[in-house]
Every structure is written in structure tokens, then in C-alpha cells.
Amino acid sequence: VTNGKGKGIVVATGMGTRIGRIAQLIAGDNGGAQKKKCLCLPDMSANATPLQNSLEKLGGRIGIMAIGVCVIIFIIGVAMDRTDPSNPDSPAWLYMILIAVTLAVAAIPEGIPLCVTISLSIGCKDMVSKNVLVRKLAAVETLGSASVICSDKTGTLTEGKMTMVN
């Protein structure tokens, strides 16, 4: 924008902005002690990047869908009295539990974290080739989720006028 008037709504300031989040990730500041989420596991949700939050939601949805499909297949298999072809005397429910657990294990997408890490590493490599210093991979991901950054070379927001005001 080079001319005109406009109104803006401030939605975050300081460390609450995307740039503040990047600074926090680079500095390694976690904002205090970690909360306990489950027994001895620390709650890392305060330090989670937007991509990590999205992947966690995706994993939850895939898990719920996989459990639903496995339950449906178990019910249909027991209703149709499907038995083990190698052992026809075994009960149908036992064979269908084996099938349902096998399907649940196969539905876990263990390749997603690897693909995300490789993609972020390629992005870091491209940034390094353009002389951008990248210290932490999480900072690259957070910077990638920012859609607009308005600042000048000193990091302050400007109006586009070079005038002195008393």
C-alpha cells in the first residue's frame, strides 16, 4: 500500500505475535516451569508450534477414524461369522479381534513426522543458500506460518513518511 487511509485491529503485541514467538523459540524460553500432562510426561503444548498442533490434531483424527473402522469391521465380521481359514473351529470373535487389531496397527502413520522433518530441512537448506541464518528448525516452521510481516530494517512499524514530528 503506497497511499490512502486505513484502520487496523491489533490482535497481539510483543511476545504474543508471530515474531515474538520466533524470538521465544530461538531464545529457548519456555515461559516458566512445564506442567505435568500425564503422570511423568511434561506438558509441551505451550511450546508447540502451529505445525505441531496441526499434526497432533491430524493424528487424533486418524486415530479416532481407525478405531471406528476397526469396530465396524469387527462387528460385521462377527455378524457374518467369519472364522480363521486355517482353523475353522476357532470362534469368529477371536479371529475378528486379531483382524481389527492388525488394521489398527496398520493405520498408524509413522512416516508423517519423517516427511515433515525432511520438508523443513529442505526449507532450511534453501534459506541458508540465500544467506539466512537458521538456528532452530521450529523457528523456520513458525516463520512459515506468518502471512504478513510489516516492519522496516530496524524492526519498527512505519507509516511510509520520512517526516520529523515535534
Q: Which residues of 110-133 are buried (b: 16+ CB within 10 A; e: fewer)?
A: eeeeeebeeebeebbeeeeeeeee
The span from the CA of 142 to the CA of 48, in Å, is: 10
Cα–Cα distance, 87 to 85 (Å, whole number):
6
Cα(40)–Cα(27) distance, integer angstroms: 26
Q: How far apart are CA 9 and CA 44, in angstroms?
A: 30
- Between the CA of residue 155 and those of 9, 105, 125, 161, 165, what are the distances in Å? 19, 49, 25, 16, 20
Distance in angstroms (rounded) separating the CA atoms of residues 115 and 86: 39
Which of 43, 81, 126, 152 is an active site residue? 152
89 is catalytic: no
Q: Which residue bears the cell 469368529?
A: 92
- Annotated catalytic residues are 152
